[in-house]
Copies of this chain bind each other. A is one copy, B any other.
Amino acid sequence: MPILVMKFGGTSVANLDRIQRAAKRVALEVAKGYDVIVIVSAMSGETNKLVGFVNETSPLYDAREYDAIVSSGENVTAGLMALRLQEMGIAARSWQGWQVPINTTSAHGAARFIDIPRDNIDGKFAEGFQVAVVAGFQGVSAEGRITTLGRGGSDTTAVAFAAAFEAERCDIYTDVDGVYTTDPRISSKARKLDKIAFEEMLELASLGAKVLQTRSVELAMRYNVKLRVLSSFEEPSDDAGTLVCAEEMIVESKAVSGVAYSRDEAKVTLVTVEDKPGIAAAIFGPLADAGVNVDMIVQNIAESGYKGHDGGVTDMTFSCPVDQLARAEKALNDAKADGRIAFDRLEADTDVAKVSVVGIGMRSHAGVAAKMFETLSKEGVNIKVIATSEIKISVLIDRKYMELAVQALHDAFELEVEG
């Protein structure tokens, strides 16, 4: 029998009624002849409640106990989903991570899959079971301790099962009905995409479009798992949602597929840094050690000269997530204090946002960057930092222009029109 993986997130199993609704979708696929592997999250709110218990009990918690505690929410949902399916006359049973087993590394709270042996679940399918309901987000280490994959890890569980069981498709049921050309809350012209390439989805995921966890998309790309994102609140239909798939399956050839944004950025400028070989390493080494995810980097000639330096001087600007700003400042000031780097002053700006255009079509379409800069210029939006990849151009701008920039770029690249 062909295998289908279906994943239901926390809002899709938030209460018994929603579990029933999700179970009905599973029943539809069973009726089509699939052996179904269902991956479930905890009922929405449950994991946060458990995380709250852990943090209150032990702020610097033992991650092994954290994992043992927070993984319990998925176990409850898995059992309830199995019972609901049984009530519908479907042969189903629940599987906890250690029962499959889902073998992971011992990196508690951020474990990675080692392997998912098929024997146990395949054996049950062979016995006539139609559905395996697997608790998402968890696994088991070689030491026999429960591990978790980090928040949102159930998406990754789903893709890993789809890869291990060579599933025909991996359907991710969530509370949005697909991937959009941009956030519909920002542009009313946002259009749902029927298909999007893995690479594009990766850029969108990491740029703040919170539809799919980045790791799950990476894994899907590596194993070429067809991933469909769809809403559990819409009526079932064959062309629902957005298919995330290999580039070859996409016939559209627009230069840009979507406009993404992120509000959670901070810009840091080190003013009047000595411009000498190794200075970048001297600055970004301590930041990396402090766990700061530096995103965009720009090096300028300093506007003002600086007496007392033998060589030239420069300004160094970078962006990082705003919640890592304090750590970044401390790392840089410490490095200055013990003489590893020298700079005149540090300027931090948290009033910035990142806006990006993404599209695999950029590879074959010239002039995307020019069009982007021109569009923003026409709207009077000043660009502070630019970063590019093969399929993405990102700019850092004043936060107050963010919505304007997203709307203008969405218009300029005609994203409301299909094909």
Contact = CB atoms under 8 A, between A and B. Distances in A.
Interface of A: 16, 19-20, 50, 53-54, 56-58, 61-62, 64-66, 68-69, 72-73, 75-76, 78-80, 82-84, 86-87, 93-94, 96, 98-99, 144-146
Nearest to A75: B72
Given A69-B80, A72-B73, 10 more contacts: A16-B53, A20-B57, A50-B76, A54-B79, A54-B80, A58-B86, A68-B96, A72-B75, A72-B76, A99-B144
B99 A56 contact: no
Nearest to A58: B83
A65 B53 contact: no
Nearest to A135: B68
A6 B64 CA distance: 23
Give 6 closest A-B pairs by Cβ, nearest first.
A69-B79, A58-B83, A72-B72, A68-B79, A65-B79, A57-B83
A66 B79 CA distance: 7
Contacts of A98: 98
Contact of A62 (B61, B86, B146): B86
Interface centre among A62, A68, A76 (most CB of B within 10 A): A68
A120 to B, nearest CB: 8
A71 to B, nearest CB: 8
Given A16-B57, A57-B16, A65 B50 contact: no
A96 to B, nearest CB: 7
A98 B83 CA distance: 22
Contact of A65 (B20, B68, B93, B145): B93
Contacts of A82: 62, 65
Contacts of A80: 53-54, 57, 65, 69
Given A53-B16, A98-B98, A78 B84 contact: no
Nearest to A99: B144
Contacts of A56: 16
A19 B57 contact: yes
A146 to B, nearest CB: 8
A93 B57 CA distance: 14
Contacts of A84: 57-58
A212 to B, nearest CB: 27
Given A69-B75, A72-B76, A83 B96 contact: no
A62 B76 contact: no
16 contacts: A19-B57, A57-B80, A57-B84, A58-B86, A58-B87, A61-B83, A62-B83, A62-B86, A62-B93, A66-B79, A68-B79, A69-B79, A69-B83, A72-B72, A72-B73, A75-B75
A68 B94 contact: yes
B68 A78 contact: yes
Contacts of A65: 79-80, 82-83, 86, 93-94
B94 A57 contact: no
A80 B67 CA distance: 11
Nearest to A73: B72
Contacts of A57: 16, 19-20, 80, 83-84, 87
B68 A75 contact: yes
A72 B98 CA distance: 14
A137 to B, nearest CB: 14
Nearest to A54: B83
Contacts of A19: 57
